[in-house]
Each structure stands twice: as C-alpha cells, then as structure tokens.
Structure 1
Amino acid sequence: MFDSHNPEINIDELMQKIREEVAKRPGYSQPLATKNNAHIGDITGLTSKIGYIESLLINAESRAYARTKWPDKLNRFPFNLSSKLQKFILKLINFFFKDQREVNFNLILALKASVTVNGQLIEQINTLKTQINERLSTVDSHFQGIDQRLSTVDTHFQGIDQRLSTVDTHFQGIDQRLSTVDTHFQGIDQRLSTVDTHFQGIDQRLSTVDTHFQGIDQRLSTVDSHFQDIDQYLDVMDLRLQGIDDSLNTINGSVNNSITDIEEKLNNFKTYIQGMDERHIRNDNYLKNDLIQQKRIIALFLEEARRRLPEPFNQQQVQTFINEEQHLLDAFYVAFEDQFRGSREQIGNRLKVYLPLIEEAKIGTPNSPILDVGCGRGEWLELLRESGYTAKGIDINRVMQEQCQARKLDVLESDVITYLQSLPDDSLGAVTGFHIIEHLEFPVLIKLLEEVVRVLKPEGIAIFETPNPKNLVVGACNFYSDPTHRNPVFPETIQFCLSFKGLSNVQLMYLNPVEDSPFDKPDIASLTLKNWFFGSRDYAVIGYKK
C-alpha cells in the first residue's frame, strides 16, 4: 500500500534535512574539539566547559529517544502526508536507526561518565593546589624558624665573645694582683733586711758587752793580784760579781725573748704566705677548669659546624649545644663547694658516722657494691675505699668528676635516673646520696626512690642526707645560700616517702648540731629555742629493703 499510494522517499535526503534543521536551532554549537584549546590548563575554564558539555549531552539525550511525533515542519507541502503514512515512516525510521540510538545512548553514557571523572579530577586538582599552597606556607614557616635559630646562634657567639673578653679582663686583674704580690715581696725583703741590720746591731752590742767583760776580767785579775790578802775586799767583789751575773742573765733573757718573738713573727708570716699560695693555686684551678669547659664547648661547636657546612644545623645538633649549656657552671659550682661546703677533711670526718651502718649491713663487696649518687668531690667514696669497701659514684659535674678520677676513684658522668634505669633488679647493696634530694623536683625525687627500691638487694640500705629545715636558721636562711637548691625537704615527709615506696624500718638521724648554744639550760623554753636556732643542721633518712 505504501508503494502504490506514496512517492518514493529518500531516507538520506530526509536525514540530511533533519540535521540541517537541528543545526539551525538555537543552543547548538560546534564540537568542543573545534574550540581553542589554549586554556585547557585553566581550572575555571575547564569547569565552565564541562558544564557546556553536560548541556550538550542533555540535548543529545533528548534527541536520541525514538520519535513518536511527526515534525510540524514536515506537514507543509510537498510533505503533507496522511497520519498513517507519518506513523509508518516514523516506525520505519525508528527501525532503521535502532542500532544508532543504542550507540548514541552508550556514547552519551560514556561521555557522562567522562564528565563525572573530569569533575572529580578537577576537585582533586583543586585539593592538590590547596595542599601545595599549605606545604609552601609550611616551608616558609620552616625557613623563618631556621632564620630565628641562626639569629639565636649569632647571639650565642656574641655571648661567647663577651665571656672571652671577661676572661681577658680577669687575667689582666690576675696580672695586677701578681704585680701587687711582687711589690709585697719587695716590702718583705726590705723588712728582712731591716731585721738583719737589727741582728747586726745586737751582735755589735754583744761584742761590746764581751769587751766590757774582758775589761772586768782584767780588773778582777788586778784586784785579785793586789787584794789577795784582803778578805773583805774579796767579799765585796763577790757581791759585785753576783750583781754582774744577774745583769748578764737579764741581758741573755732579753736577747732570747727577742729571738723568740722574731721567730714567731717569721712563722706567722710563712703561714700567711702559704695560705696566699694555696688561694692563688685554688683560684688558678678554678680558672683552668672554667677555660677547659669553654674550650670543650667551642670545640664541639666548631666540629659540628665543620661537619655540617655548608648546610644549616639540624635539630639534633642544636640540642647537643643546648645540652652543653648545663656544664657552663661546673667550675663555678666547684669553687662554690670549696667556699661554703667545707674542706675535704671536715666532710670526711662528718661522713664517718655512716660507716657503722655499712658494716652492720654487711655490704660493699663486689657482689653488693655501693653506689653514691651526686658524689661531688668524692669524700664518701674515698672514705669507703680506705675502709675496704667496693663503691662507685656518678655526678653530672665534669670538673668534680675529673677531680675524683685524678684521685683514682671510680666515678662516671651520668644523670642519676638514667643510670639507675640501666641497672638490673637487686644489683646493689646500698644507694647513698649526700645533699642531693634538695636539688630535685618532687616527681623526680619519687622516681629516684622507685628506682632505688628496684635496684637494691634484699637487706640493702638507702641513705640520703639533706639540710634540716627544723633548724629555723638553716631552713629560712642558710639553705638558700646554694642557688641550685629547690626547696627544703621536711624530715617526716621524706621518711613517709621511703616507707610508701617499699622500704622498711625507715629512721631519721639528726646530725651536726650548732656548738656553743646560749640556750643550754634544762628548762623547756631553753630547749625549744636551742632546737629551733641551734639544733642539728643536717639530718639523714635511712631505710632497708626487705
């Protein structure tokens, strides 16, 4: 029927007209490939182009569906066909382009997926740009920190220059003092010359007396020769001779007293010169120790700088320099101890009170050694060695450590907590510490006691000595003479801490009372005032491990 009533339809011509009609509609554009691709890298341009592609895909999708309506433009002559013919043509077209529609739908779905992927890529690119900007900001901050640290290093070098200038000034002062000592010695030489002149005068006077006695002897021999027969004159002469003997004895006594006084003055002067020499030697040692510390720090810095050049210092190397700062006052604290702590002999005599405790505990053998934490100048270690005990010490002060090693004492440089943590359980017979716990913060003190209890053997002993704050003069005044002290430790408090951490039979021993107290009366008021102001200056807390 179609063939007999309708003229032949050219499908290609019809599709070409449909494409032309579609091309004339508004919103239709050339494919994206014909556009200028110069700005593909612009993210904002890509976003707008993706939106444009999506609009094209929507338009294409709407046109990809099968047609169910005859286009109004084709109703015009000569395309004015009957409705049945129109439906037949539409079905025929839909039948011929069925595969094409399926291809179009697949392409549209692929393009949609591509658009979605491109959107995700754009979001990731934006995220990467944000991260890059943040990383660049972090790098800028890091370089600013490096600049600040370099500025700090420059300031530290300036401080070193100032300290070296101070050392030069101090040496100039030493030269001036030595010049003064030379002048003083010249004065001493002049005084000794005067003493020699005085002795020469005494010798001349003694020679004159001898000459006078010779004349007397001559006169007496003349008298003897002329008055041998006259007994009365002999008695008179005996009396005169006795008077002369008394005079001679008086003269000899005066001469002996003068010589004794001169010898005493010379001995006093010799003692004064020896004390001056000891002070100069001690001050010289302090200066040498301080210069050795400065030299060690400067050498460390130069070595690290030589190793790193031309790169900047890293955090670990800067921390190495910071750790060295804690040794800047080592020499100062040694001089401070010599001035305020007392001599080695005095401290050694005070520490002898603990030897019976060591002997009673039967420790100090190679199997149960003694560890002295914060051993300082090593008086306790030296006393233990003389008593035949095995002992070791640790201290963070390098100058004191070198002094102990010079005395052949077993001393290491280490932090007390770090060293105790390196020891196995039940490995020590005793842990002692004299005037160390008042230097520690309370959490560090508790950690120290925990490690002491861990490393002590059963029946081992812990001894800690510290200033007694119950003596008001010590607790309110003398305690703060040491600028490294933190706070006094109340006796019953540290006794409780040792018991709480596991030690048993914890005792307090009060030591070194003030002598010549004005409150020695037996009444309660005098005893109270004596304990408050003239009581024990130190105390020890002693505990045992079960």
Structure 2
Amino acid sequence: MMEENNSEINVDELMHTIREEVVKRQVYSQQINSESNLDTSKLKLSISYIETFLKNAESRSSLRIKWPDKLNRFPFNLSAKFQKLILKALNFIFKDQREVNFNIINSLRESVVLNHQLIGQIATLKAQADNRIQSLDERVVTIDTSIQGIENSLNAIDTLINSWLTGIQKDLDTLNMRVQGIDEHLSIVYARMAKLNEHLITTESRIVTVDTRIQEINERYIRNDSYLKNDLMQQKRLITLFLEEAKKCLPEPFSQEQLQTFVNEDTHFLDVFYAAFEDQFRGSRKEILERLKVYLPLIEEAKVGTAESPILDVGCGRGEWLELLEESGYTSRGLDINKVMVEQSRSRGFEVIEADVMVYLQSLPDRSLGMVTGFHIIEHLTFPTLMKFFTEVVRILKPGGLAIFETPNPENVLASSCNFYFDPTHQHPLPSSMIKFILEMQGLQQVKVINLHPYPEAYKVIGSEIAERFNDYFYGPQDYAVVGYKL
C-alpha cells in the first residue's frame, strides 16, 4: 500500500509488479486445475478398490449353506448331514460377527455412496471454479489491457511532467540568478545605508550637542539681556528721580521726603543680582515645577483655588508655582518685592503684585483667601516679622483654608551648615518643630510636617546602624514643608 506522503512514484516498477502478480495468478489457477483433476481420478480409483473389497467381504460374510469344495477332500469329506450340522454350528457361533460385518459393510457402502456424491459435487465445484477462473482470466486480461493503457498514459504524463519540470528548473535557475544579483545589490545598498546611518547618527549627535550649546547660550543671553535691561531701567529710573528731585530743590538742599525717595529706590539695588542668584542656585525651572507637584493633592482635597477662595503665593519669584496652578485650573496670584522677578512673572502672563509682604497682607480683609503659600520665603524674615506674618496669614484665611510654607531643613547638616548660607539674605535656619509650634499657637489646626528632597541613594553610605544615622544627618531631606488648616 502506498503512503499518501510519497513524493515520487516509479511507474515502471509499479507496472512490473502488477504483471508479475497476474502471471502468478494464472499459473496458480492452472495448478489448481491439474491438482483437482489428479485428486478426482485418484479418488475414483480408490472407491473402485473399496467396492471390490466390499463385494468380496459381502460374499464371505453371508450365511454358510454350502460346504466349501476345498474341504471335500480327505480327511474333510464328511457326510452331508454332518457338514450341515457343522455349518449350522459355525453360523450360530459367528452370528454376532456376521451382523457386525454386515453393519460395517453397509456403512462402507453408504460411505461409497457419499463419496460418489462428493465426487459429483467436486465436479460441480470444479466446473464452477473453472468458470470463475475463466472469468478471472478474462478480467485479468482486461485489467492487463487497462494497465497497459494506464502505463502508456503515465508514460505520456511522465514525459509531459519531465518537460514541464525542465522548463520550471530553467526558470528557477534564471530567477535564482536574478535573486542572487538583487541580493548582491541589496548587500551593497545595506552597506551604504549602514554607513549613511552611522554618518546620520554622528551628525545627529553633533546637532544635539550644538543645539544644546545654542540653547544654553540662548538662555544665558536671554538672562543676561533681561538683567541688563532691568538694571538699565533701574539706573535710568534712579537718574530720572534724582534729576527731578534735584530740580525741585536746587539751589536749595534736599528735603527729608526727597531723601526718603532715594532710600526707597536703593532697596531695589540688588534686585538684578538676586534674580541671577536664584537662576544659579535655586535650580532649573523644570526641576522646580516637578518638585512642586507634591502639593497639588492637598489643594484638591481642600477644595480651594476657586474664584471665591483664591490662592496667594508669597515671594512668588520666577512664578513656577503660579504656572503649575494655572495649568491645573486654579485661581491664584503672586506677591514679590523684587522688580526683576515681578517683570519676569508678568511677562509669562501671571497676575503678580509688587509690594512688601507685610504691607500687602495687612491690606487684605479677613477670611478673603483659600490658601497662602510661601516657598523658601520664611527664612528671609526676622523673628518678629515672622510672628506678625503668621498672624496675618491666619487672619486672611477662610475657614477650611490652608497654609503651606517650605523652607530648608536644619536637621540636614549639609543644608544647615553650608547650603543655607549660599543665600546672603537668609536670616536663621528654622527647625520644623518650632515652625509647627508657632502655627499651632497662631490658631492653625492639623499642622503636619512633610520632609522633602533627600539626596539620591548613590550618596548614601551602606553599612551599620551608625552609617544609617550618618545618612539621616547628612543625606536626609534637604527641605521640609509645614501644612496647617484653619477650622
């Protein structure tokens, strides 16, 4: 039996196998005929022998009524009466044996009759077998003819397939050569593309480097330009005021009021310096925006920042917190005394008021704000001013409003002993427990301290308990925020 997954069939071998099978069947049928004839003749001869034996046995097993001729000689030539007597005695003695013999003979006769019947049936079967064999021979001849036709068809198909495969092989060879040529061309293209990609990567890296440098130069130029413009404006304003006041008093000396005007303007002498200082040491605008996002959930929880409960950011500086509040959809405004920073914030579209913090807070009505914030502002105030500041904050907050103030953490040794004094306008480090106590004394409730901005893990020392304590003191939170609510 051929499997379905045979990919190739040998037609010649298949035809040869079929022919051999046909010849074998023909020879086998002839052998059967000859053997059946031989067996039948032998069987008839055996039955003839058996019938002869039965006739002889029947004659010998019949009842003895005559004295054998061979026994009429001396000394067996007895009288007729004595012979009859002996015969009767013998017949009586062998009566049972005679019956047995008759039974056996009858059985054998029936067996002969059965054998004759069997011979007849064998002859019938042989005739039927001959007919079937003849029919089979005819079918074999028909099959052989059909196979010959199939063989001729297969040979024609094989020739056609070989011709077709030859054409396909030629086409495949041609296609393979074309593909090989395309592959070689693609290899060259890929090599060129790889070189071009390397060149593009190098060029892109250079462009990024140049772009970064240009951006840095541009930012530096913008800052310097802003500083110079503001400084020139301040100088121009001072000169204008000086000339105006000089005109008023000349040739008389300056009055006390005129001198106070110059003194007030003198307080803004360091505005440009402090704006540049903030840009250098405060951190980039992006970093500050990212840090301030920690306070947004507190605003959402308190439900402030609406038109009825606006937010005031004291010492708003460059306006990062105002920008984040505006992006989050809250109503807010800023307050600062530095003219340069006020102009920078206003240029970004924020509402910023230029005024002294205490003067402005004292001008506000009671319960007028939803939240007051100050990031790195309270460390700039003297202690008496700080107390007055917190008093005003509690006064102007609405019930349910909150205050958030962030300042350097003096528990961090590096922050309190070094970094705090980067800013020459700082007064003193403010411990978190002290500020928490002051706010509670001023009337705020649920006051809590949030530690912020620890050093990265890479700075910390790995080791014993002493190392952990060292990390807390030197690389712990650099800032903290105190949060209180007005009930």
- Going from structure 1 to structure 2, the CA distance change for 1:513 and 1:309 (only over 3 Å counts) comes to same
Q: Does 1:533 align with 2:444?
A: no
- Going from structure 1 to structure 2, the CA distance change for 1:243 and 1:392 (only over 3 Å counts) comes to closer
Q: State how far apart, in whole Å, the 2-side matches of 1:349 and 1:240 are.
A: 57
SS where residue 368 of structure 1 aligns?
Answer: coil
- Going from structure 1 to structure 2, the CA distance change for 1:316 and 1:525 (only over 3 Å counts) comes to same
Aligned-partner residue type, residue 217 of structure 2: M
Deviation at 1:331, TM superposition (A): 1.1
1:276 to 188, 194, 217: 217
Aligned-partner residue type, residue 378 of structure 2: I
Q: Tell me the residue number matched to 1:451.
A: 392
Mapping 1:131-530, distance limit 5 Å: 253-254=194-195, 256-519=197-460, 521=462, 523-530=464-471
Deviation at 1:274, TM superposition (A): 3.1
Q: State how far apart, in whole Å, the 2-side matches of 1:263 and 1:488 are.
A: 47
SS where residue 364 of structure 1 aligns?
Answer: coil
Following superposition, which runs of at least 4 residues in structure 1 exceed 3 angstroms of deviation? 238-256, 517-523
Contact kept in structure 2, 1:373 and 1:431, CA below 8 Å: yes
Superposed CA deviations along residues 330-349 of structure 1, whole A, max 9, x for unmatched, are 11111111111112221111
Contact kept in structure 2, 1:417 and 1:448, CA below 8 Å: yes
Deviation at 1:272, TM superposition (A): 2.0
Q: State how far apart, in whole Å, the 2-side matches of 1:302 and 1:470 are.
A: 51
Aligned-partner residue type, residue 480 of structure 1: Y
- Going from structure 1 to structure 2, the CA distance change for 1:242 and 1:389 (only over 3 Å counts) comes to closer
Structure 1: give runs of 5+ residues left out of the alignment.
1-234
In the alignment of these two chains, the number of paired residues is 314
Contact kept in structure 2, 1:290 and 1:332, CA below 8 Å: no
Q: Which has the larger displacement, 525-534 or 331-340?
A: 525-534
- Going from structure 1 to structure 2, the CA distance change for 1:364 and 1:262 (only over 3 Å counts) comes to closer
- Going from structure 1 to structure 2, the CA distance change for 1:504 and 1:274 (only over 3 Å counts) comes to closer
Superposed CA deviations along residues 351-394 of structure 1, whole A, max 9, x for unmatched, are 11111111111112222221111111111112112222221211
Q: Which has the larger displacement, 300-309 or 511-520?
A: 511-520
Identity %, equivalent residues: 56
Contact kept in structure 2, 1:517 and 1:534, CA below 8 Å: no
Contact kept in structure 2, 1:297 and 1:324, CA below 8 Å: yes
Q: State how far apart, in whole Å, the 2-side matches of 1:536 and 1:384 are.
A: 25
Structure 2: give runs of 5+ residues left out of the alignment.
1-175
Give the aligned CA root-mean-square deviation in angstroms: 2.8
Q: Report 1 or 2 for greater relative contact order, CA contacts < 8 Å, sequence distance ≥ 6.
A: 2
- Going from structure 1 to structure 2, the CA distance change for 1:293 and 1:459 (only over 3 Å counts) comes to same
Larger radius of gyration: 2
TM (norm. structure 2) is 0.60
Deviation at 1:308, TM superposition (A): 2.6
Superposed CA deviations along residues 190-240 of structure 1, whole A, max 9, x for unmatched, are xxxxxxxxxxxxxxxxxxxxxxxxxxxxxxxxxxxxxxxxxxxxx9xx999
SS where residue 457 of structure 2 aligns?
Answer: coil
Deviation at 1:501, TM superposition (A): 1.4
Q: State how far apart, in whole Å, the 2-side matches of 1:433 and 1:509 are.
A: 14
SS where residue 234 of structure 2 aligns?
Answer: helix
- Going from structure 1 to structure 2, the CA distance change for 1:366 and 1:346 (only over 3 Å counts) comes to same
Contact kept in structure 2, 1:502 and 1:545, CA below 8 Å: yes
Contact kept in structure 2, 1:294 and 1:328, CA below 8 Å: no
Superposed CA deviations along residues 422-481 of structure 1, whole A, max 9, x for unmatched, are 112222211111100111110110110111111112222111100111111111111111
Q: State how far apart, in whole Å, the 2-side matches of 1:272 and 1:364 are.
A: 39
Mapping 1:15-26, distance limit 5 Å: none
TM (norm. structure 1) is 0.53
Contact kept in structure 2, 1:434 and 1:465, CA below 8 Å: yes
- Going from structure 1 to structure 2, the CA distance change for 1:262 and 1:385 (only over 3 Å counts) comes to closer
